[in-house]
Amino acid sequence: MSSMALIRDNALVYLVWRFVYRIGEFFRHWYVKSAKLYWNWVVNQFEELDYTLAWRVTAKNLLKPLYGDYSVPGYVIGFIFRSFRLIIGGVIYLVVFALALALYLAWLLIPPFLIFRAFVG
d(CA 22, CA 29): 10
> What average pLDDT score do residues 108-116 get?
93
The answer to whether the CB of 62 falls within 8 A of the CB of 83 is: yes
Q: Where are the domains of the chain?
A: 28-120
Query: Does the structure show a pLDDT above 90 at 1?
Result: no
Asked whether the beta carbons of 62 and 86 are under 8 A apart, the reply is: yes
* Contact predicate 105/99, CB 8 Å: no
Give 44-90 pLDDT, tens digit per residue: 999 999 998 998 899 998 888 888 888 998 899 999 999 999 999 99
The pTM (predicted TM-score) of the whole model is 0.76
Mean pLDDT of 31-54: 93
Highest averaged pLDDT of the listed ranges 4-8, 21-25, 60-64: 21-25
